[in-house]
């Protein structure tokens, strides 16, 4: 049987859609989302995520985040959905976007907004990829719109509100990503809970 093209040692038995070839199960498991840019629909990637999620939940339960309760979600439904859709729309535009790009963009926006709250307007730009810069611009644009009066029944976001929203998104991104360099686990999860622009007020975002 053919040898794995990645290690040239073990027998290649597992089809890898990213490499368009068969590789060994060891390389699949250890190089997944590290050296291999796995597509989200890969069956082995999905099985690996399910296994890791169950293992991590058993040994390392997610810490509670009481500040992000149902009241927080209800109060911020419109803003959360707007930001979630901005992330997903930018993902479509920037095909190579990974979870780390999202975290870099959110970190940079949070730093920029922190200086704004102190009366200084200094823009902190993400140091990551082109994708993180594009997402930074989009998130910042959405937030600027939300800071404008939305009408008689919807209050404009305050800078303090924005800081809490960004903290929520960052906590969610950290808890839903595998942490591997090419992970898109958080982006895939976000797409699964926010498949299309909401048509009703109920939030579909799940507390991390």
Q: How many structural domains is the chain composed of?
A: 1
Residue 205 lies in a domain: no
Residue 56 lies in a domain: no
Each of the 208 residues of the chain gets a pLDDT tens digit; together they read 899 999 999 999 999 999 999 999 999 999 999 999 999 999 999 999 999 888 876 665 655 566 788 888 888 888 999 999 999 999 999 989 999 999 999 999 999 988 877 777 788 899 878 999 999 999 999 999 998 876 666 678 888 889 899 999 999 999 999 999 999 999 999 999 986 654 444 445 555 5
What does each C-alpha distance from 193 to 36, 69, 95, 129, 203 come to in angstroms? 26, 17, 20, 26, 10
Domain hosting 161: range is: 72-193
Task: Please state the pTM of the whole predicted model.
Answer: 0.85
Residue 162 lies in a domain: yes
Residue 18 lies in a domain: no
Residue 14 lies in a domain: no
């Amino acid at each position: 049987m053919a040898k794995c093209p990645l290690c040239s040692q073990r027998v290649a038995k597992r089809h890898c859609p990213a490499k368009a070839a068969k590789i060994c199960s060891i390389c699949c498991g250890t190089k997944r989302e590290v050296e291999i840019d796995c597509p989200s629909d890969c069956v082995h990637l999905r099985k690996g995520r399910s296994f890791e999620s169950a293992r991590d939940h058993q040994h390392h339960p997610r810490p509670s985040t009481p500040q992000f309760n149902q009241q927080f979600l209800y109060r911020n439904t419109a803003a959360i959905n707007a930001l979630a859709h901005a992330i997903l729309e930018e993902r479509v535009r920037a095909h190579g976007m990974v979870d780390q790009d999202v975290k870099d963009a959110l970190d940079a926006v949070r730093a920029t907004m922190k200086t704004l709250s102190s009366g200084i307007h200094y823009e902190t730009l993400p140091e990551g990829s082109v994708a993180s810069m594009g997402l930074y611009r989009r998130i910042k644009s959405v937030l600027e719109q939300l800071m404008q009066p939305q009408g008689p029944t919807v209050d404009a976001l305050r800078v303090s509100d924005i800081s809490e929203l960004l903290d929520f998104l960052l906590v969610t991104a950290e808890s839903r990503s595998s942490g591997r360099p090419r992970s898109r686990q958080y982006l895939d999860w976000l797409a699964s809970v926010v498949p299309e622009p909401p048509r009703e007020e109920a939030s579909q975002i799940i507390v991390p």
